[in-house]
A and B are shown apart, each in its own frame.
Chain A
């Protein structure tokens, strides 16, 4: 399913550390390797603050990794600059988590969404109005919004401006950082269908960060689960609900609010203390919240092993329990 020939971005062993004070460093991302393939979707889920946005910013070249390298079509682009950077930027578009902060408040919506098209001379200035309308309608917003400013819109409307802007260029790779959480479920569905349609037509590669596991598993060919800077499990979207092995992935599955759940039951939540990226423990990053933790888990960090084709897990005891079968 994942052919080397289709590899577009290959992130190899990316690590990012921030120096907080003279003797404290914060490791936001710890040796993460993930690939983006043509015509495939990679979903990334994980704890808030575990390094998803940091990883993705490095993978698209917005931030320099502390170590590791990024290959774009087999070429090392970790150190790229100037024209080279500009061209690869066109092919890799990113939609940000906080659209409110990403837009210039003095620019009208039509200027915001057409800016990249104008920059790469793909449209002329006098085509801006009609192009803006077309793009707005694509994300289910009225064409008249073209004349508004971003702060005169609701949260979910602003989010869709970011989506329209990124889709305008029809890039090879689209990275979406938490783009659906501000949208109602019906618009969420529209946006996902839009991305999938684009994928079908142009074979684009999609990176989709989201907290909504139920949503991602519907269309991700591969899901990477992150915890405290590390990838702890990689498996296909279809199999998440039946084959997840890592205790953190299982905890995620247990915390989903579902329309068919038993509403009288107390919600389960892990109350144990969340570790801080300033003090990553030796051994397994999930140890202090894991109900299966044993001595070896505190001593040795589990590597990410392939336990069956296209299914990788970083846990010493992946074999001892299989979530859904146990129930």
Chain B
């Protein structure tokens, strides 16, 4: 359903590209995880798919196809039609995505009404319900809160709730559980996998948690310095990889009862 073909992403004309020659194909209902070095271009890849690279960022080579259509040729208007319903995204920095001077509720209602035919009241109720699904009890209270009144992980769950409203066909998730405690992380991961089971949603997820990537994905891509350093299924990455960088990452994963420094 999604095909990324040999793309390069540049933030300035002369400099070295942030992403170079990146290709990836994702089928309906498939889950793919991007892992790898901080600054290696993971966010740039999925933002390129979403058509919202920050500032001067541009896709300088290659193409991206969604159900056969080139996403690079989409206009703002085309995006408005599919954003949220067909493709949606959970941002790495959910706090920064929210408008600091408006309540969660007013932003959520606006978002829901922009993409579906709902009255204000229906949209409000839908919002409350989505928040509760995202492990935020007392959805009414959250709706009335401003972003600064919420903890880091609560803002992240608000982002998750936004992204799941319309059961998108493709979900792009940039470190969606990094600010959550591990019991909640487990709950959110289950919800994402349920979305795939029930609605055939395809997911591209960025994470630094290799065990989590191994648990949920059909396919893992390891990135380093703008390029794909390694890719394959769980068994390949965990047990048969020849790539030095993959081995280095695996050896740095902390484990319970493992090494102790003090």
Contacts and interface: CB of A to CB of B under 8 A. Distances in A.
B54 interface: yes
A238 B234 CA distance: 30
Interface string B127-143: 00000000101100100
B137 A259 contact: no
B182 A192 contact: no
Interface in A81-98: 97-98
A261 B252 contact: no
A186 B252 CA distance: 5
Given A101-B95, A186-B248, A258 B255 contact: yes
Contacts of A156: 38-39
A155 B43 contact: yes
Interface residues of B, number: 61
B255 A238 contact: no
Contact of B260 (A49, A98, A219): A219
B182 A182 contact: no
B209 A257 contact: yes
Interface of A: 18, 20, 41, 45-50, 53, 97-98, 100-101, 151-157, 160, 178, 181-189, 192-193, 196, 211-215, 217-221, 237-238, 240-242, 251-253, 255-261, 263, 267-271, 273-276, 278-279
A47 B249 contact: no
Interface stretch (B1-9, B63-71, B185-193): B185-193
B262 A41 contact: yes
Contacts of A270: 183, 187
Contacts of A155: 38, 43, 92-93, 175
Contact of B254 (A48, A151, A212, A261): A212
B25 interface: no
Given A155-B175, A184-B38, 19 more contacts: A49-B151, A49-B154, A100-B93, A100-B96, A156-B38, A181-B175, A211-B153, A211-B178, A214-B258, A217-B256, A218-B258, A241-B257, A256-B256, A257-B211, A263-B234, A267-B190, A269-B190, A275-B137, A276-B138
Interface string B239-262: 000000000111011111111111
B17 to A, nearest CB: 14
Nearest to A240: B256
B212 interface: yes
Contacts of A157: 38-39
Contact of B259 (A49, A184, A188, A218): A218
Contacts of B197: none
A70 to B, nearest CB: 21
Nearest to B180: A48
A85 B186 CA distance: 41
Contact of A242 (B151, B153, B257): B257
B13 interface: no
A18 B35 CA distance: 39
Contact of B250 (A240, A259, A274, A279): A259
Interface in B106-125: none
B37 A219 contact: no
A192 B261 contact: yes
Closest 5 CB pairs of A and B: A48-B153, A156-B38, A257-B211, A269-B186, A276-B138
A267 B255 contact: no
A287 B181 CA distance: 18
Q: Which of A155, A189, A238, A253 is the most central at the interface, judged by chain B CB atoms within 10 Å of its CB? A: A155
A214 B210 CA distance: 13
B179 interface: yes
Nearest to B96: A100
B11 interface: yes
Contacts of B38: 154-157, 160, 182-184, 187
B214 A263 contact: yes
B36 interface: yes
23 contacts: A48-B151, A48-B184, A53-B152, A98-B96, A101-B95, A155-B43, A155-B93, A178-B152, A182-B92, A185-B252, A186-B252, A193-B261, A211-B153, A211-B182, A214-B256, A218-B254, A219-B260, A251-B183, A252-B182, A258-B255, A259-B255, A267-B186, A269-B186
A46 B37 CA distance: 27
A97 B152 contact: yes
Nearest to A98: B95
A80 to B, nearest CB: 24
A252 B183 contact: yes
B43 to A, nearest CB: 6
Nearest to A97: B152
Nearest to B191: A269
B260 A218 contact: yes
